[in-house]
Amino acid sequence: MKLICYLSNGYPTIESCIHMADDYTEAGCDIIEVDFPSAHPFLEGEYIAGRMKAALQNCNDYSKYMDGIAQMKGNHPDIQFLIVIYEETINDIGVERFMQFCMQNQIRDIIYVGGNNRAMKDKIVENGIRISCYVQFHMPEEEIKAALSANGFVYMQAKPTSHPINPQFPTLKDCIGELKRRGIRGEIYAGVGIYTTDDIQMAKNSGADAVFVGSTILKLQSDIPKMKETIGQLKKACNQ
């Protein structure tokens, strides 16, 4: 199973994130999830949203964020990079320019957040870029149907939060099993609530292809040796 580590682009600086990508890779991260900070990160928790806002206060030029990601990818051509981007940010950059950036840097997977510009999404998909689809733990039917029609991986919520658990699918293994039974043939990545090696083992036993780890790693960035040790432990759990 693959380990995905989140990188807050531009926090505290773009240059520091380029070096952080080196540390992630050296420690054993398989996929780096890197964002374009949004001015209105309404779907983020307070911690990530605060980092995005601080990043944009330091630099609000998206060209520099693209240059930073291009350098990360150039430094690590064999590492997969997964982009998190809000629809309004694509509008700010320009959809043609954003697609060209993705294709030039061999970035094929994005988490497209907010908005429902169907024409924009269709254009991105037509250019070979895969858009992921999020399915919450309570397994709403409309999200399952959206996942079945999506061209990207399924981002499966790993643990329940605000909604009651669906009694038909009380565990992550049940949820993933149902998605596969319904016809999902692509990769299923589990995220939200993944903090420990036990969480990772649970996701692996449930049939996830990868796990997202966010704040657990971000909060250790002031102690690089400890951060790298933690990534190594999490990756070891993915392999067990």
3-state secondary structure 170-225: CCHHHHHHHHHHHCCCCCEEEECCCCCHHHHHHHHHCCCCEEEECHHHHCCCCCHH
Domain count, the chain: 2
Q: What is the CATH number of the domain that holds 26?
A: 3.20.20.70
d(CA 51, CA 65): 14
Structure tokens at 1: 């199973």
What's the whole-model pTM score? 0.96
Distances 142 to 135, 167, 237 between C-alpha atoms, Å = 9, 17, 33
Residues 85 and 169 in one domain: no
Paired residues of 111 in beta bridges: 84
Residues 88 and 140 in one domain: no
Residues 71 and 165 in one domain: no
Residue 226 lies in a domain: no
Residues 143 and 38 in one domain: no
| Per-residue pLDDT tens digits of the chain, which is 240 residues long | 999 999 999 999 999 999 999 999 999 999 999 999 999 999 898 999 999 999 999 999 999 999 999 999 999 999 999 999 999 999 999 999 999 999 999 999 999 998 889 999 999 999 999 999 999 999 999 999 999 999 999 999 999 998 999 999 999 999 999 999 999 999 999 999 999 999 999 999 999 999 999 999 999 999 999 999 999 999 999 998
AA identity, residue 200: I
Cβ atoms of residues 202 and 174 within 8 Å = no
d(CA 114, CA 29): 27
Structure tokens at 181: 């039974």
Residues 160 and 142 in one domain: yes
Residues 78 and 192 in one domain: no
Residues 20 and 83 in one domain: yes
**What is the extent of the structural domain holding 102?**
1-131
